[in-house]
Structure 1
Amino acid sequence: MLFGRRPRKLANILQPRGILCVLLGFFLGCVFTMTTIRRFTEWRVLDATVSPIELPMSKLSKQELLLPELLSVSLSPNAASVNLASKTETSIRILCMILTTPNDHAVKARAVKQTWASRCDDYFFVSSENDTQLPAYGRFFTTDNYFSDNSWMYSREASVRGDLQLTLLICAWLRSLCGLPLLAAVSTENRNQLWDKTKFGVIYAATQYGRQFDYLFKADDDTYAIMENLRKMLEEHPKKQSIIMGRRFKPFVQQGYPSGGAGYVISRMGVDKIAHGMLTEQKCGIFAHTWTEDVRMGQCAEAVGVTMVDSLDAEGLERFHPFPAFAMFNLDENNPANWLTLFNYHKLLVGRRCCSNYSITFHYIKPPEMFTYDFLLYHMHTVFNKEQHDLPEK
């Protein structure tokens, strides 16, 4: 009798009602488990309105402790910069994407927000935690939002791997049912997640902003950018082409790749192709986790047909810089230990010719220096420019 009951129980389970109960039990178990996990791993969202002086001292350098007054200052740019910006803002729309970390929301990210990011047409930060005050995004949930403007994903040209796209849709639906984010930038915060953050940001821009921008500008939270000069450079190129521009490096990628720290800009058509490649193209490092996001971006751009275009000015001088201005002026081109000499796509120029008069970015800029750059560029006047009409005749 004992052995005779087992087939009967198994037969009952295999009935439609039994199968439904098993599936329902599995689903409820999944929901319960994920809810419990989320409760114990709930994200802490930094309040970006907190003064940096109130944060743990270990997170701040002595130089950054001078920031509270700077972070509360709001100065208007001089008339010249306003006039130049107004001429180009209407024709070229730039969406800025800045990579940051939760520990840097309150100081470094805020410094970017209160200086050059305010001159983007729109901007967002990519972090491992959401922060509505910046805003910073590290994950989003609803399939409605994610696929709201995803026509590029289903176009005839893009449907190279429809089976993988279908898999992504199913996985997204299941993750949503279980209370997990549809797309997350990183699982843990560390330097080896830079490529993950970049992939998240590009896909987020393509799906959430759609056709609301002409170019996507990627930067770090220690990059300083002069947006007027970026717009001036982009005016030299037609909008409707697939291009990527930045400080051009030569190793690893045949057409070169843009320095990540110096920032780079991608046309909207290029963003669409790269975003699709990040979901379907193995050469785009779908499952890669690495800090060399600039090399990966160059490889992905080349794989999906996005052209790396030179960013030199009319005199052949560089506009994107991987170091601060003082470091660029003091480079030694003959030093074999200078990796920039080996990596730079073009011959490295030093001294005054290191940098274009229309330079766009500098890297490794600390928050106090960022406010200094901003003051010198947008708020300080010289007698020659400001008061020339008031000077007495000789």
Structure 2
Amino acid sequence: MLGRGSVWRVRGAWVRFLHMRFKWALCALAVAALWPPPLPRGEFRRSPPRPPPSPTPPRVTCLVVTSPQYHEGRARHVEVTWSQKGACTHLIFLTTEPHPNLPTIRLSRYASYDELWGKVLDGFLTINSTASEWFLKADDDTYLVSHNLLTLLQEFDPSQPHYLGLPLVYSLLEGGRVEYNSGGAGYVLSRAALIKLQAASHPLCQTPGHTHFEDVNMGLCMRALGVGVSETRDALGRPRFLPCPPWDLLHPALVSDPKYTWLQRLSKHPFYFGPEHLSDLAVTFHEIRDPRDIYLLHYLIHDLYPLPPNASRPFTPTPTPRLTTP
């Protein structure tokens, strides 16, 4: 039999062992809480085959809204990545101060967020309408998928007034609703729509604007000029201009996240999250603010060598010579 001292030593050892196991369990729970659960993997659906691209792609003038505090951290990287792929025939930054690494700048006297409508309107009113067939407005934290933009634009006639983007609906304080395209996701005017804007004398197409929101003001102006929001969803009904990063759009649970209640409330069409709802023809992603994310997307979209259609595993186009030893 064990003496009383031995019994207490055994009990003490068990207590220390159980205490240690409990601490390990708590540590494991804490570590697990740091890692999100695996995403439910929906099936990514491809759009139906499309006609081959035109040998002469449309010309696009891109207006990028920025500010001096974002010249280094955002605008410079937009200039490097967008200019490499050639979607923008002309790339113009709308800002309030010059910068040596931004070659084409349109200086504006409008500096604050509340004056954004004035800055954007100035940009559209002062560009040459004959320089391009299409005119894109985007922010300095918008990522542009160049070839998908050109693919989309070939579906439309620039000689007709078109207003392309992610359609949202805004309820006016005085009653009524207006359809407009999200400014963050970017929107595009055809040459015909731009000509109408540049010739407009309607008060809704002038400063200070009817609301504090630049994109809503553009929607009101376009409606006053008889230019409606054009359909830009892909053949499977998925939006192509996207107001948030792809890593958020992949997560189905974010459909009810408070961060995106505005999107559910304002979107003209039901907006879904998850891989099966992401278009393979996406034109833009918004809120890409870290330069590392800009270059990561640029690499994955433009530089990473994809598998050919129907391939099931990596391949090498030509056999690799086998090394032989003498």
- If the length of structure 1 is used for normalisation, what is the TM-score? 0.60
| Secondary structure, aligned partner of 2:197 | helix
- The residue type equivalent to 2:181 in the other structure is P
Alignment partner for residue 125 of structure 2, among 196, 203, 221? 203
Match of 1:258 among 162, 181, 184: 181
Trace 1:1-394 onto structure 2 (pairs within 5 A).
Answer: 87-88=53-54, 90-118=56-84, 119=86, 120-131=88-99, 133-139=101-107, 185-187=108-110, 189-205=111-127, 209-252=128-171, 254=177, 256-277=179-200, 280-288=201-209, 291-331=212-252, 332-334=254-256, 338-366=261-289, 367-382=291-306, 384=308, 387=315, 389-390=317-318
**Equivalent-residue separation in structure 1 for 2:269 and 2:276 (angstroms):** 13
Contact 2:68/2:95 (CA < 8 Å) preserved in 1? yes
Quick one: distance in 2 between partners of 1:263 and 1:221? 10
Shift of 1:196: 1.1
Q: How many residues align?
A: 257
Separation (CA, whole Å) in 1 of partners of 2:307 and 2:181:
38
SS of the aligned residue for 2:271 comes to coil
Q: Residue 383 of structure 1: CA displacement? A: 5.3
- Partners of 1:274 and 1:237 in 2: how far apart? 19
Relative to its length, the structure with more helix (as a share) is 1
Tell me, yes or no, if the aligned pair for 2:129 and 2:194 is still in contact at 8 Å.
Answer: no
In the alignment, is the contact (CA less than 8 A) between 2:210 and 2:217 conserved in 1?
A: no
Verify the 8 A CA contact 1:274 1:304 in the aligned structure 2.
Answer: yes
For residues 100 and 136 of structure 1, do their structure 2 counterparts lie closer, same or farther at Cα, with a shift above 3 Å needed? Answer: farther
Partners in 2 of 1:345 and 1:357 — Cα distance?
21
Q: Residues 206-252 of structure 1: CA distance to partner in whole angstroms, max 9, x if unpaired?
A: xxx23120000110000000111011111111221001010110223
Alpha-carbon distance between aligned partners in 1 of 2:256 and 2:102, rounded to the nearest angstrom = 43
Distance in 1, matches of 2:265 and 2:186, equals 19
Unaligned runs of 5+ in 1: 1-85, 140-184
1:246–1:311 Cα contact (<8 Å) kept? yes
Instruction: Note the C-alpha offset of 1:133.
Output: 4.0
Contact 2:168 / 2:181 at 8 angstroms: preserved in 1?
yes
SS at 1:378 equivalent: helix
* Residues 204 and 210 in structure 2, CA contact (< 8 A), matched pair in contact too: no
Q: Using the TM superposition, give the Cα deviation of residue 354 of structure 1 relative to its aligned residue in structure 2, in angstroms.
A: 2.9
TM superposition shift of 1:321: 0.6
CA distance in 2, matches of 1:304, 1:383: 46
RMSD of the TM alignment (CA)? Answer: 2.6
Return the offset for 1:298. Answer: 0.5
Q: Which runs of 5+ in 2 are unaligned?
A: 1-51, 321-326
Q: Is the 8 A contact 1:89 1:121 kept in 2?
A: no
> Does the aligned pair in 2 maintain the 1:193–1:289 contact within 8 Å?
no
Q: Return the letter of the residue paired with 2:182.
A: S
Q: What SS does structure 1 have at the residue aligned with 2:229?
A: strand
Instruction: Indicate conservation of the 8 Å contact 2:91/2:104, yes or no.
Output: no
Range with greater deviation from structure 2 (280-289 or 324-333): 280-289
CA gap of 1:247–1:391, structure 2 versus 1, over 3 A, is farther
Q: TM-score, normalised by structure 2?
A: 0.72
Task: Find the aligned partners of 1:311 and 1:104 in 2 and give their Cα distance.
Answer: 30
